[in-house]
Structure 1
Amino acid sequence: MGKILYGASGIEIELEDRAMAHLQAVVASKLRRGEGFFLNWKDDVAVGDGHSACWIAPNIPLFFKYYGSRNIELNRQWLEIMTMGANSNGGLQLGDEPSINAPVQANGNGNGSAS
């Protein structure tokens, strides 16, 4: 389990290292192009079982803290789904990794993308 520290707000977003590695790749790609997007996630039951969202933009510092030390092999299909979500009006919806043979939906409504 790792965490993303979001800007100077003190917000911490906890994620499994594998999901965070995929998110970091998508964030890096978007920010290199100067593009912002919404990041959405379902909150844990311990904090109310709601949902949260934050605006990811080039001028907001992010810090990715991984608790594992091993390199993570990225799933190209998950990256594509997350990128489609980040490119949509609703933003990237964090979700579970798709199975190897799950279809990538052209409208960005697959697992891990905006709905």
Structure 2
Amino acid sequence: MGKLLYGPHQRAVEIEDRDLAHLQVVMLSKLRRGESFAFSWDKAVSEGRGRASIWISPAIPLEFSFLGGRRPALNRAWIDQMMVGAASGELQLIPEP
């Protein structure tokens, strides 16, 4: 289980390494273009379930921390689906196709 560390206080969002690797590609692609966007995900049972969202901006610190040492093979179709959703202004962690 990896972590997305966000903001100056490094709020931690736990995300499976494979999911996080795909989110990293999408997020960094948008941030390189200077785009800001919302990121939403389903909260874990340990967090009380429900959904959460944060605002991702080039001005806010962001770190991707992976538990595993190996980089997973990337699924281009999954990345493309998340990019399409993110184009509307909200990136959502969706199941891998």
Q: Which runs of 4+ in 1 moved over 3 A?
A: none
Counterpart residue number, 1:92:
91
Counterpart residue number, 1:43:
43
Structure with bigger helix share is 2
RMSD: 1.0
Structure 2: stretches of 5+ with no match in the other structure: none
Structure 1: stretches of 5+ with no match in the other structure: 99-115
Deviation at 1:15, TM superposition (A): 0.7
Of structures 1 and 2, the one scoring higher in RCO (CA 8 A, sep 6+) is: 2
Counterpart residue number, 1:105:
none
Deviation at 1:92, TM superposition (A): 1.2
Identity in percent = 51
Structure with greater Cα Rg:
1
User: 1:21, 1:84 → 2: CA distance?
Assistant: 17
Given residue 34 of structure 1, which amino acid in structure 2 is its aligned partner? G
User: 1:7, 1:55 → 2: CA distance?
Assistant: 10
Deviations 1:14-73 (A, max 9, x none): 111111010000111101100011100011122211110001110011111101111211
Deviation at 1:10, TM superposition (A): 3.3
How many residues are matched?
A: 97
Whether the aligned pair in 1 keeps the contact of 2:82 and 2:94 (CA below 8 Å) is no
Deviations 1:70-101 (A, max 9, x none): 12111000000111111114x11112111xxx
Q: With structure 2 as the length reference, what TM-score do the two structures score?
A: 0.94
Counterpart residue number, 2:19:
19
Structure with bigger strand share is 2
